[in-house]
A = this chain, B = another copy of it.
C-alpha cells in the first residue's frame, strides 16, 4: 500500500537533523552501502561536491557523499534521509551553472549518481534505449556509434552532462532547433524514487500515451526537488549526414532576421543548429589560438545543416540566398569533415576560448531566452550595458530558439560584484521582453529570485503546493528552485 507522509502542520517549521543525528545517519549509510568508496566524508570530497567552479552563489559543503550503484541503493539512502530529516542533493556531471548541487547549511547527503552510468537495453527497432541516470549523453552516443547502430540521442548540453542532470535541469543544447528540448518527448519513461521511498515508473515503453497527466514531465526541470530519477528510457533519432557552414553579418539584428526567415521556410527541418557568436566571441577564438587562420571579427552564425546530399544542396542554396538578402558578406561551408568538426568545437568550447583569450580572469556564464524577434534588442542593450560597466564578455546563443548566453569576465571580488549586478539587469531585460530568466541552465540557487517576476505568485505557489504534497518534509534538494514567499501566507481556505 502506497502512502505519502502527511504534511507537517503549517505552523510547524520543518526541522532538519541535528549534528548528532547526522552522525547516526552517516553510520547508517555506511551499513546500508558497504561497497568501497560508497560513502565518503573526507573534507576534499565534501567540498568538491558542494561547490562548483562554474557558479558564484552561496554554498556549503555536504555532510556526506554517497555513491549508489542501483535503484535499491537510492531507496535505502532516501529512507535514511527521511528517517533523520537530512536533506538530499543529487549530483552527477557537475556541469550545472546555478548552484544546483550546493550543500545545505544544516548538513546534507550528496547523492553522487555518476557511478550509475550503465546502458541497460538498446531497442534498435523501436528507436529507444534504457540507461541509468548517471550516464553521459556523449558516452551514450559513442556507444551507439561503436555498435554500428545508426541512431543517436539528440539533446546536447555542455560536455560531461549526464541524463539525470539533463532531466533535472530541463536542458536543451545546440540541436534544440531541430529536435526540441528535454521538455519534448525524448524521455519516454523514468524510474524515480519518491521522497516516501516508493519506486515508480512514470510510463511504459510505448512511444506515446494519453493515460493520465504527464508524471514524466513533472521531474523534468524539477532539479531533484520531487524525487530521484534512477533509470530512463530515451527515445533515439536516426543519424542524418550533416554539413557545417558559417555566415557573417554587420550586426546581430540582420543575423537574427535571416534566421527567422530561414526557420519559417519549408527548409527549416534541414537546419539542425543555428548558433550566434558575437564579434567578441570570434575575437576570443582568434586570440585563444584555436584556429590556423583567424576569422573576420564580426557577428557570426554557425549552421549545422542535415539531410542527404541533394537536400543539403537545396537547403544551403536557400540559406545562402536568405543570409545574403539580410546583409551577410560571407557564407561558406567547412571544406572538410575535419574543418567542420573544428568549427563546431569552437562553438562547443566557447567558455574555454573566452577564458584562454584573457588569461588571469574567471567567467560567470548566464543564460536567458526571449521570443526570437526580441533577441536583437536584448543583445544590443546587453552589450551596451556590459560596455558601460567596463566588463569584458562574449556572447553565444542558440539563436534559433531566442536563447542567449553571456560569458562575463572578472578578475576580483569587486568585478565579481559588478558582474552579479549586470546579470540581474540582463534577467530583468529578458523578462520585460516576454522572456525567461533561463532558457536551459535552470534555476538552482542563482535564478530563484526571478521566478515570481517571470511567472507570477500564483504559478510559483502552484509549484510549491505540488512540492509540499510530494515532499512534505522538504528533504529533496531544499533551498533550490522554489523562491521564498514574499510575505508570510495567511491561513485558512480562500473560499
Residues of A within 8 A of B (CB): 1-6, 79, 82-83, 123-128, 150-151, 169-172, 176, 180-181, 183-185, 194, 196-215, 217-223, 225-226, 237-241, 260, 263-269, 306-308, 310-311, 314, 369-373, 401-403, 430-431, 434-443, 447, 450-451, 454-463, 465-466, 468-470, 481-482, 487, 489-495
Contacts and interface: CB of A to CB of B under 8 A. Distances in A.
A239 B208 CA distance: 24
Given A201-B459, A215-B463, A266-B238, A208 B176 contact: yes
Contacts of A219: 213
Copies in the complex: 2
9 contacts: A2-B457, A79-B495, A172-B208, A183-B185, A207-B402, A209-B439, A211-B436, A214-B221, A462-B470
A212 B310 contact: no
A462 B194 contact: yes
A151 to B, nearest CB: 7
A437 B211 contact: yes
Contact of A372 (B125, B194, B461, B494): B125
Contact of A206 (B82, B436, B462, B463): B436
A489 B5 CA distance: 12
Nearest to A171: B210
Contacts of A239: 266
Nearest to A261: B125
Of A125, A402, A435, the most chain B CB neighbours within 10 A belong to A125
A370 B437 contact: no
A352 to B, nearest CB: 23
Contacts of A441: 210
A234 to B, nearest CB: 13
A306 to B, nearest CB: 8
A22 to B, nearest CB: 17
Contacts of A268: 237-238
A186 to B, nearest CB: 9
Contact of A435 (B204, B218, B440, B468): B204
